[in-house]
Amino acid sequence: KEKVVITKDQQAFMNVILDAYNRHQIPPDVAKKLLQEQYSAEENFLLLTEMATSQVQVLVEFTKHIPGFLSLDHEDQIALLKGSAVEASFLRSAQVFSSKMPNGHTEVLEERIRKSGISEEFMTPMFNFYKTIGELHMVEEEQALLTAITIMTPDRPYVKDQQAVERLQEPMLDVLRKLCALHHPHEPQYFARLLGRLTELRTLNHYHAEMLTSWRMNDHKFTPLLCEIWDVQ
Ligand SMILES: O=C(NC1CCCCC1)[C@H](C1CCCCC1)n1c(-c2ccc(-c3nnn[nH]3)cc2)nc2ccccc21
């Protein structure tokens, strides 16, 4: 059983990503707002678009700190952000959902989300994803790296130089694999389970456009930024 060693360079690389991830978190706590009271579908949809808009802005700031991202072709930078924004927001939602809350609060939050206005058919895949992310008990380094790896996915639509993106994603996968071995020594399959969540994320990505239009209300309004990123309106 070889000893897992994270090199000094990998430690420094990891700190850059973790520091950027921690500095770029959404200010208003959506969970706290949701636990306060039940809102109407219209109010919830507005809350979602506000949260998603600020999350995209935060995601751009975080991405700029991923080593090598700014040296990519500019159009590829946009393609990576556009291609990963929905997945990053579901990953963030999952982390919010599975964050430690006082007893019974997670159940109230789940109830509020179930009644928020999203149509029933998407509840199962969405909560399956949230619960399987929660069961992983990721440390914050793993959360930060998983988000960075999701952004740095070479096969997004319209990416021209996929090799350049692979070269940036590989060192992050190497560090993540070592971190998983270090933080979860008794779960040799943990790294594979973590990457399996990225596959699950892609299916949520696939549902997203349908989910948006299925909210039980008419006249879904979006911000200009979300029109760009979500390909709506
Ligand atoms: O605000 C939210 N998510 C933000 C969290 C931070 C990153 C950016 C997204 C929404 C709440 C909105 C108000 C009504 C309840 C859900 N949210 C979601 C979520 C996400 C997408 C759709 C959806 N619908 N159509 N397309 N995407 C629906 C719900 N899951 C969450 C789990 C924990 C906490 C909040 C959660």
Q: What string of pLDDT tens digits covers the 233 residues of the chain?
A: 678 999 999 999 999 999 999 988 765 578 888 888 899 999 999 999 999 999 999 999 999 999 999 999 999 999 999 999 999 999 999 999 998 889 999 999 999 999 999 999 999 999 999 999 999 999 999 999 999 999 999 999 999 999 999 999 999 999 999 999 999 999 999 999 999 999 999 999 999 999 999 998 888 899 999 999 998 88
Res 1: pLDDT: 62
Is residue 55 within 8 Å of residue 151, measured between CB atoms? Answer: no
The span from the CA of 38 to the CA of 74, in Å, is 42
The span from the CA of 233 to the CA of 210, in Å, is 13
The span from the CA of 6 to the CA of 13, in Å, is 11
Residues with CB under 6 A from ligand 1: 26, 30-31, 34, 44, 47-48, 51-52, 55, 89, 92-93, 96-97, 113, 116, 118, 208, 211-212
Is the pTM higher than 0.90?
A: yes
The span from the CA of 48 to the CA of 26, in Å, is 13
The span from the CA of 183 to the CA of 177, in Å, is 10
The torsion angle over the Cα atoms of residues 232, 117, 132 and 6, rounded to 10 degrees, is: 50
Token pair, residue 69, equals 């991202």
Res 31: pLDDT: 83
The torsion angle over the Cα atoms of residues 96, 92, 39 and 48, rounded to 10 degrees, is: 170
**Residue 205: φ, ψ to 5°:** -55, -40
Mutate to test the pocket of ligand 1, among 29, 48, 57, 222 (most ligand atoms within 8 A of CB): 48
Q: What is the phi-psi region of residue 3: left when phi exceeds 0, alpha when psi lies from -120 to 50, beta otherwise? A: beta
Which atom of ligand 1 approaches the CA of 48 most closely?
Answer: 12
